[in-house]
Amino acid sequence: MKIVVCITGASGVIYGIRLLEELKKKEIETHLVISNIAKDIIEYETDYSVKDVESIASFFYDEDDLSAIINSGSFKFDATIIIPASMKTVSAISNGYADNTINRVADVTLKERRKLIIVPRETPLRTIHLENMVNISREGGIILPPMPGFYHKPKTIDDQIDFIIGKIFDILDINNNLFTKWKQ
């Protein structure tokens, strides 16, 4: 399995970092793009350096490298996850504005009918934000807001982060025990 992970300039970069860590544990090949703004947010919100995050991934690409292999439909990968997804990125994807590596790989993912998972990080949402997400959903993209669940009785922030990563793994059919599944 090959997964493209894009971390954009929204609060919540720890979701993307944790996703990379869990994919690495599963020995899944990852292709990482970090937006320039996200690099600043990583330094601000976490104890990780950008180099630390880059080293978790199997491959790393610059946000402005439109010749990167992941931007070609002939490069076979299974899914793209944009986590967190800024509203700027959501808007660009919704409108087919593929001006950088992140937006282009999302465009390729949709046109090739591969899995695109968007983890939007904004609140509250404007109508245009919602409409952009609806447009992506209509094209087959999956919108997975990082909304906490409580049926697994989380005790820590890490429990809440694992819940979201577990939901992503469930969509990708990756076996996981990151949270206790709903039981009746």
Q: What CATH number did the domain enclosing 12 receive?
A: 3.40.50.1950
Percent of all residues in the chain with a pLDDT value above 90, rounded to a whole number: 95
Q: Are 1 and 75 in contact (CB under 8 A)?
A: no
| Nearest by Cα to 70 from 26, 28, 114 | 114
Instruction: Supply the angle between the helices 87-94 and 101-111 in degrees, to the nearest 10.
Output: 40
Whether 180 is covered by a domain: the verdict is: no
Mean pLDDT confidence for 35-49: 98
Whether 138 is covered by a domain: the verdict is: yes
Where in the sequence is the domain holding 143, given as residue range(s)? Answer: 2-171
Strand partners of residue 85: 120
Mean pLDDT over each residue of the chain, to the nearest integer: 96
Whether 181 is covered by a domain: the verdict is: no
pLDDT value of residue 39: 98
Whether 89 is covered by a domain: the verdict is: yes
pLDDT value of residue 184: 65
pLDDT value of residue 103: 98
Confidence of residue 182 (pLDDT cuts 50, 70, 90): confident
Q: What's the pLDDT tens digit per position in 105-139?
A: 999 999 999 999 999 999 999 999 999 999 999 99
Whether 46 is covered by a domain: the verdict is: yes
Whether 179 is covered by a domain: the verdict is: no
Q: What's the pLDDT tens digit per position in 47-60?
A: 999 999 999 999 99
Q: Please tell me the total count of domains within the chain.
A: 1
Whether 177 is covered by a domain: the verdict is: no
Whether 183 is covered by a domain: the verdict is: no
